[in-house]
Each structure stands twice: as structure tokens, then as C-alpha cells.
Amino acid sequence: MDFLCPSSALAEGSSRVFDIDGMSLLGVRRHGKVYLYRNRCPHRGIALNWQEHTVLDASASLIQCAHHGALFLIESGECVAGPCEGETLQALGCEENARGIWLTA
Ligand code: FES
């Protein structure tokens, strides 16, 4: 398992970008649960964030691509609006324990 961050570094309703072995990942915590995806928009294959760790829309209820505004459900990664509607972010396995948040697959 690869260590991502301490639990306190991913607060409720916030996102974080990680670089693991040259691959960019994004994590979001919603209703206490952590969701992890590859940080790669299905539209152009580029990272979603524009600021260091920001991949959420203004309401913090959807993941948003900074480039052309595609919106994704946090729970499934499905694109529900924008140029890649119907496609999904690549989900990655993660686990949270007393030591923090980990990439599992
Ligand atoms: S690259 Fe994400 S919406 Fe265009």
C-alpha cells in the first residue's frame, strides 16, 4: 500500500491531489468517506485541477475539471455534464486506518 496523507489532511468536503510514482491522483472526502480517482479528465487526458489541490466545484458537491468544466459525481466518478458526459474517472482503491489514507490498488 502507498501512503497518501494523514486523515487530517483531507477534511470533509475537500479535495487533495497526490503524486504517486509519477501518476497524479485525486482524493475527495464526502460524508466521511474517501474517494480516490486518477487525476485525468476523460475529455483530454489531462489533470483536472488548476490550483494545487482544488478539483471540486463551488458547492463542493461535484468534481469539476478546470479546463472545460466537466462535472463528475464524487461517489462514482461518472461525468454528468460537459464534453465527456457518460464517461468516468478511473477509480482507485483506497483505505483509511489509524495511520492515515492509503492507495491499495
Ligand atoms: S479536459 Fe476536462 S473538460 Fe476538457
Q: Could you say which DSSP state residue 39 is in?
A: S
pLDDT (tens digit, 9 = 90+) per residue, 29-68? Answer: 999 999 999 999 999 999 999 889 899 999 999 999 999 9
Report which ligand 1 atom has the smallest distance to the Cα of 42.
Answer: 2
pLDDT at 14: 96
Establish whether residue 70 lines the binding site of ligand 1, counting it when its CB lies within 6 angstroms of any ligand atom: yes
pTM: 0.96
Give distance in angstroms: CA of 68 to centre of ligand 1: 5
**Ligand 1 pocket, 33 CB below 6 A?**
no
Task: Name the closest-CA residue to atom 4, ligand 1.
Answer: 68
For the chain, how many structural domains are there in total?
1
Domain that includes residue 49, residue range? 2-103
Any atom of ligand 1 within 6 Å of the Cβ of 46: yes
Residue 50 is predicted with a pLDDT of 83
Q: CB under 8 Å, gap of 24 or more: what pairs does 10-14 form?
A: 10/34, 10/101, 13/56, 13/60, 14/53, 14/56, 14/60
Average pLDDT, the chain: 96
Q: What is the CATH number of the domain that holds 57?
A: 2.102.10.10
- Per-residue cell: 61: 458537491
105: confidence class by pLDDT, cuts 50, 70, 90: confident
Ligand 1 pocket check for 83: Cβ under 6 Å: yes
